[in-house]
């Protein structure tokens, strides 16, 4: 038995290395010829004294720049775009930036005390200015998802002159209340579906108790309110998708999980969960668009819509994705890109 376990471990390790060359795939036509003006690169840039990684992809690098702020905090999402293609690179020069301490930007020398909301806002603005200069664009689009929306909307409010528009996907407003509503939803869901095992587990480990975080993600995904409406397992839907992605090296894959664990120790994590943006930030001087999934209870979509009502902005609109949970841009890419094309036509 021991030798079998060792053998399986060796096979798994070899397989991991074989599927981790870490090379970014270029855009090509049907004949394998590189698309003219396309861009596909993985780079590291000094941002406020820290080397930060980003993956930049565009079928036409002359298109407007879209800076994507991942959620978590601390969980990059480029791998998710590969597993569930969004098609964003058809319309934008898309910058998948791994934020301070996350993924390609993970560095064990970074102190958790330095990862604050203000620092992340400053980092976002610094990355924005780097991209404006590199691509010679006065303004760029800013898109944020989930935990990234806490930073993104504050960056847009602080430096509106830098952005064409802000797009909040699963926009955070009151995280603590959202989490309570998710727990209540799951109690009702598992009771109605007669899933006695999950219902018993939830009642024994309610929201706010130490063990809740250990069961939260599994319970949400099995209820269809997690990362996507159809992703019923965090193991197959998230962990394995990251580990089999060929554009990351083994070290980069490991650092994704190290960065995710690190994020929970930061001041940013505490600040995010204690925030109430509906009270602290109600004016943003750029056009604002919220994308919400009908099945999203990871970030409660009703709270997102209610928050948008309170915001003063030159233009604002909330788009509902009826077949999505937490990630509508990946779950319903056709609707996403139709909306984004319409938004672009206004600029």
For residue 159, which of 67, 71, 266, 267 has the smallest C-alpha distance?
Answer: 67
CA 103 to chain centre: 12
Q: Which of 180, 151, 193, 179 is nearest to 298 (CA)?
A: 179
- The SS3 assignment for 56 reads strand
Q: Determine the Cα angle at 269 with ends 265 and 272, to 5°.
A: 170
3 state SS of 227: coil
Q: What distance in Å separates the CA atoms of residue 311 and residue 284, rounded to the nearest whole number? A: 7
- pTM equals 0.94
Residues of the chain by 3-state class (helix, strand, coil), percent to 5: 50, 15, 35
pLDDT class of 245 with cuts at 50, 70, 90:
confident
Q: Which domains does the chain have, with CATH numbers?
A: 5-178+230-344 (3.40.50.1820)
Within 8 A by CB and 6+ apart from 149, the residues are: 69, 71, 168, 169, 170, 171, 172, 299
Contact 278, 174 (CB under 8 A): yes
In 3-state terms, what secondary structure has residue 41? Answer: strand
Q: What are 34-72's pLDDT values in tens digits?
A: 998 999 999 999 999 999 999 999 999 999 999 999 999
175-192 and 212-222 helices, crossing angle to 10°: 60
Give tens-digit pLDDT for 185-220.
Answer: 999 999 999 999 999 999 999 999 989 999 999 999
How remote is the C-alpha of 300 from its chain's centroid?
A: 16
Q: In Å, how far from its chain's centre is CA 199?
A: 29
Tell me the β-bridge partners of 45.
52
Q: How far apart are CA 107 and CA 87, in angstroms?
A: 30
- Taken as a whole, the chain contains a residue count of 347
- Segments of the chain assigned E as strands: 39-47, 50-58, 65-69, 93-97, 140-145, 163-169, 288-293, 316-321
For 192, other C-beta atoms within 10 Å of its C-beta total 9
Cβ(153)–Cβ(167) below 8 Å:
no
- For position 30, what pLDDT does the model report? 83
**Does an H or E element contain 23, and which?**
none
Using CA atoms, how far apart are residues 162 and 68, in angstroms rounded to an integer?
15
- Which run of H or E residues covers position 62? none
> What letter would DSSP give residue 312?
B
Peptide bond before 73: cis, by omega within 30 degrees of 0? Answer: yes
Q: How many CB atoms lie within 10 A of CB 50?
A: 18
pLDDT tens-digit readout, 131-187: 999 999 999 999 999 999 999 999 999 999 999 999 999 999 999 999 999 999 999
CA distance 299 to 60: 33
Q: Which of 68-77, 159-168, 302-311, 337-346 has the weakest average pLDDT?
A: 337-346
Q: What is the mean pLDDT of residues 88-107?
A: 96
Say which range, 124-128, 160-164, 234-238, 301-305, has the weakest mean pLDDT.
Answer: 234-238
Alpha helix stretches (DSSP H) within the chain: 2-18, 78-83, 117-135, 147-158, 175-192, 196-204, 212-222, 234, 240-244, 250-263, 267-274, 277-280, 301-310, 328-331, 333-344
What pLDDT score was predicted for residue 176? Answer: 95
Nearest CA to 151 out of 113, 128, 122 is that of 122
Cα(197)–Cα(182) distance, integer angstroms = 18
């Amino acid at each position: 038995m021991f030798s079998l376990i060792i053998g399986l471990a060796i096979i798994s390790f070899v397989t991991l290395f074989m599927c981790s060359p870490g090379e970014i795939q270029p855009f090509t036509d049907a004949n394998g010829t590189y698309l003219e003006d396309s861009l596909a690169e993985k780079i590291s840039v000094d941002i406020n004294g820290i080397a930060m990684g980003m993956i930049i992809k565009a079928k036409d690098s002359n298109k407007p720049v879209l800076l994507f702020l991942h959620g978590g905090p601390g969980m990059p999402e480029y791998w998710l775009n590969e597993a569930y293609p969004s098609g964003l690179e058809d319309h934008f020069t898309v910058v998948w930036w791994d934020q301070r301490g996350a993924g390609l930007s993970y560095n064990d020398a970074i102190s958790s005390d330095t990862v604050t909301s203000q620092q992340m806002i400053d980092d976002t603005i610094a990355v924005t200015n780097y991209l404006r200069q590199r691509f010679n664009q006065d303004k760029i689009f800013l898109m944020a998802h989930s935990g990234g929306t806490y930073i993104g909307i504050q960056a847009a409010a602080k430096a509106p002159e830098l952005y064409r528009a802000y797009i909040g996907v699963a926009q955070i407003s009151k995280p603590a209340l959202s989490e309570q509503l998710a727990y209540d939803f799951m109690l009702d869901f598992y009771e109605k579906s007669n899933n006695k095992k999950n219902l018993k587990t939830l009642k024994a480990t309610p929201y706010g108790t130490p063990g809740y975080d250990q069961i939260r993600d599994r319970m949400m995904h099995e209820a269809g309110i997690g990362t996507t409406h159809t992703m019923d397992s965090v193991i197959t839907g998230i962990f394995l998708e990251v580990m089999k992605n060929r554009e990351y090296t083994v070290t980069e894959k490991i650092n994704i999980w190290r960065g995710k664990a690190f994020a929970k120790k930061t001041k940013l994590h505490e600040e995010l969960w204690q925030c109430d943006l509906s009270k602290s930030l109600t004016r943003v001087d750029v056009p604002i668009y919220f994308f919400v999934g009908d099945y999203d209870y990871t970030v409660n979509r009703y709270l997102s819509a209610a928050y948008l009502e309170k915001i003063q902005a030159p233009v604002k609109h909330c788009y509902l994705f009826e077949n999505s949970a937490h990630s509508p841009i990946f779950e319903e890419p056709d609707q996403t890109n139709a909306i984004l094309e319409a938004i672009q036509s206004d600029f």
